[in-house]
């Protein structure tokens, strides 16, 4: 039993909806004042717990991590306000973390699926095209409704540039197999042409999407395919290019060109009506606990503050089928000193974090 908490400030149930009067009773939200007096009163602007829609709890630079490392990653994300994570591939089986009431909720995707020797060593289940469908079915059954494909990567044997991981026909069969299993498919995509193959295959989401071109936008909108840009990860592209320059100059030049249009591309997608969600890509190069940095990066790219915040809160929760601030929902909320729609900086100094009705600080 977690007792009663009263939230005495404005309640942002949506980007344009403000209510007053909210309580947490035994871990559940209610807009009806309970008969008993609250044990705590928390004052400030209330929003749903943040969502990191591309995160790798249970993954490190070398692949799998120890349990204490996975736990530390989850705690770091929680303490930054991330109370819901859509896993985008991890070697470590994090189901045990899902049983911890003091840690963020995790929607798991199992392991990445990549082409043989065409991804980071130790990260993925690596298969050839004839094994892709079977691998997708296995990961769909191992996860919580998502499968993660590596759509492209550097091909050292084909000119040393980004190239698609799997033939278009194999992709179509793989996406259909996932859908047959009741799972959605998302894909790591850097290059331009990879997006055409993914859209043809009926993909459900695109990660990074750095190759997005104007010709793609109508199809993203028509097919309802969202993008998780991971802008704080894309910021590392110049360093990646510099390291690759000597051996793979074409790849280095390509990565720089993708980086140069990163903000323009995302703003064009947003203005065209493509859904954009916030994800950090934490877990290998990017440290955990940076969801606020990603929200700021989306805003810096041109998204209005409310849209950038929604990409990691109201909109993201609706997309993932998770509760926001509604009657009877789990009390997973944040309390801010100021209206975060007007001042995104307030997210860096949260007054309170409440997870499952328990204040974490």
User: 48: closest CA among 87, 23, 12?
Assistant: 12
Q: Return per-residue pLDDT of the chain as tens, 361 residues.
A: 579 999 999 999 999 999 999 999 999 999 999 999 999 999 999 999 999 999 999 999 999 999 999 999 999 999 999 999 999 999 999 999 999 999 999 999 989 999 999 999 999 999 999 999 999 999 999 999 999 999 999 999 878 999 999 999 999 999 999 999 999 999 999 999 999 999 999 999 999 999 999 999 999 999 999 999 999 999 999 999 999 999 999 999 999 999 999 999 999 999 999 999 999 999 989 999 999 999 999 999 999 999 999 999 999 999 999 999 999 999 999 999 999 999 999 999 999 999 999 999 6
DSSP string for residues in 229-246: --HHHHTTHHHHHHHHTT
User: 177: closest CA among 149, 197, 206?
Assistant: 149
How high is the pLDDT of residue 157? Answer: 87
Give the position of tokens 């717990």: 49
How high is the pLDDT of residue 121? Answer: 94
First to last CA, the chain: 18
How high is the pLDDT of residue 214? Answer: 97
CA distances from 149 to 18, 224, 251 (A): 39, 19, 21
How high is the pLDDT of residue 284? Answer: 83
How high is the pLDDT of residue 327? Answer: 98
- Strand 4-14 with 40-42, pairing: parallel
Cβ contact 129:136 at 8 Å: no
DSSP string for residues in 343-359: -GGGGGG-SEEEETTEE
Phi, psi of 37 (to 5 degrees): -75, 145
Please state, in angstroms and rounded to a whole number, the distance separating the CA atoms of residues 123 and 160: 21
Q: Where are the alpha helices (DSSP H) in the chain?
A: 67-79, 95-98, 132-142, 168-180, 192-201, 217-223, 231-234, 237-244, 249-260, 262-272, 291-300, 305-310, 314-320
Please state, in angstroms and rounded to a whole number, the distance separating the CA atoms of residues 127 and 117: 9
Please state, in angstroms and rounded to a whole number, the distance separating the CA atoms of residues 350 and 361: 9
How high is the pLDDT of residue 159? Answer: 82
How high is the pLDDT of residue 40? Answer: 96
Please state, in angstroms and rounded to a whole number, the distance separating the CA atoms of residues 340 and 347: 7
User: 49: closest CA among 313, 323, 322?
Assistant: 313
Phi, psi of 23 (to 5 degrees): -135, 155
Whole-model pTM?
0.97
User: 124: closest CA among 107, 104, 149?
Assistant: 149
């Amino acid at each position: 039993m977690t007792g009663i908490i009263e939230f005495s400030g404005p309640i942002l149930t949506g980007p344009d909806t403000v209510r007053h009067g909210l309580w947490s009773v035994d871990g559940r939200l209610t807009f009806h004042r309970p008969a008993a007096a609250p044990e705590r009163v928390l004052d400030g602007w209330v929003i749903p717990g943040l969502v990191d829609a591309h995160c790798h709890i249970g993954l490190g630079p070398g692949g799998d991590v120890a349990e204490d490392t996975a736990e530390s990653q989850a705690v770091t994300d929680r303490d930054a306000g991330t109370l819901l994570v859509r896993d985008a591939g991890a070697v470590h089986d994090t189901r045990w973390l899902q049983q911890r009431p003091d840690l963020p909720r995790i929607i798991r995707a199992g392991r990445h699926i990549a082409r043989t020797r065409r991804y980071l060593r130790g990260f993925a289940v690596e298969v050839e095209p004839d094994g892709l469908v079977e691998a997708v079915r296995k990961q769909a059954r191992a996860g919580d409704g998502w499968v993660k494909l590596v759509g492209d990567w550097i091909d050292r044997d084909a000119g040393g540039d980004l190239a698609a991981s799997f033939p278009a026909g194999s992709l179509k069969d793989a996406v259909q197999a996932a859908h047959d299993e009741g799972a959605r498919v998302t894909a790591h995509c850097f290059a331009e042409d990879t997006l055409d193959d993914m859209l043809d295959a009926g993909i459900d989401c695109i990660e990074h999407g750095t190759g997005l071109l104007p010709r793609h936008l109508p199809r993203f909108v028509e097919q309802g395919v969202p993008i998780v840009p991971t802008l704080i990860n894309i910021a590392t592209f110049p360093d990646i290019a510099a390291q690759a320059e000597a051996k793979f100059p074409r790849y280095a030049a390509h990565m720089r060109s993708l980086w140069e249009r990163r903000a323009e591309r995302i703003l064009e997608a947003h203005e065209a009506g493509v859904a954009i969600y916030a994800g950090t890509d934490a877990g290998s190069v990017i440290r955990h606990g940076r969801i606020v940095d990603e929200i700021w990066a989306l805003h810096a790219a041109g998204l209005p503050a409310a849209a950038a915040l929604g990409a990691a809160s109201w909109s993201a929760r609706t997309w993932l089928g998770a509760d926001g601030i509604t009657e009877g929902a789990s009390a997973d909320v944040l309390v801010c000193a100021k209206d975060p729609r007007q001042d995104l900086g307030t997210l860096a100094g949260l007054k309170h974090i409440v997870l499952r009705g328990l204040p974490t600080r």
